[in-house]
Amino acid sequence: MAVREGLLALLHEGPRYGYQLKTEFEAATGGVWPLNVGQVYTTLDRLERDGLVEVRGVEGETAPSQKTYAITVDGVAALGEWWEAVPSDDPPPRDELMLKVLMAIERGDDHALRVITHQRTVLLTLLQARRKERRAAGDESLAARLVTDALVARAEADLRWLDTCEEHLQRRPASATSAPTTASSTSTRKASR
């Protein structure tokens, strides 16, 4: 869970109170990743247990909100590894959209084309809604802008892939594409797999 590393990254800037970490984390992620303060303290407890973070300055029965947290040498090392690690899905990728389209093709090309058209529309509608929220919130921060850009870029990749699927389906022999949806589940295409 990247919240751990996110908190470590903030603590690398210097010691902080728990609540301060919550607000700074939310600002840094453009407001798309809200944290409740309980989640922050739970994560800090685990980081402390693992020796990546230590409590500074106060002893004894001080309330959590009074505690200052600081990163340890081990914490700095763990953070260093995180910056270098590449986020990746274990191949083969198993995302839901891909599964949906592959299953739809199994059922028949006409059905697959309908699913593709629908998914494309839904993806764009989501992007529009996202963009609209941002504009309504009037959040012009660079973080907010870049978060939207990241979502757009991922959706673009999905949309390009849907276009590619559609092209391949339309280029298949007429017998495959013109088969009625109801009959296609029994069509000979299955033999090719």
Comparing CB distances to other proteins, the nearer of 81 and 167 is 167
Q: Under DSSP, is residue 29 helix (H, G, I), strand (E, B) or coil? A: coil
32 binds other proteins (CB under 8 A): no
CB of 100 to other proteins, least distance (A): 9
Tell me which residue of 116, 101, 109, 115 sits closest to 188, measured CA to CA: 109
Angle 173-112-90 from CA coordinates, rounded to 5°: 105
Nearest Cα to Cα of residue 114 among 129, 122, 126: 122
Tell me how far apart the alpha carbons of residues 138 and 31 are, in angstroms, rounded to a whole number: 12
| Residue 45 is a binding residue for other proteins (CB under 8 A) | no
Rounded to a whole number of angstroms, the minimum distance from the CB of residue 159 to other proteins is 5
Q: What is the footprint of other proteins within residues 98-157 (CB under 8 A)?
A: 111, 114-115, 117-118, 120-125, 127-128, 130-131, 149, 152-153, 155-156
163 lines the binding site for other proteins (CB under 8 A) = yes
DSSP state of 71: E
Determine, following the binding rule CB under 8 A, whether residue 2 of this chain makes contact with other proteins.
no
Whether residue 173 is preceded by a cis peptide bond, meaning omega within 30 degrees of 0, is no
Asked if residue 35 binds other proteins (CB under 8 A), the reply is: no
| Residues that bind other proteins in the complex, under the rule CB under 8 A | 111, 114-115, 117-118, 120-125, 127-128, 130-131, 149, 152-153, 155-156, 159, 163
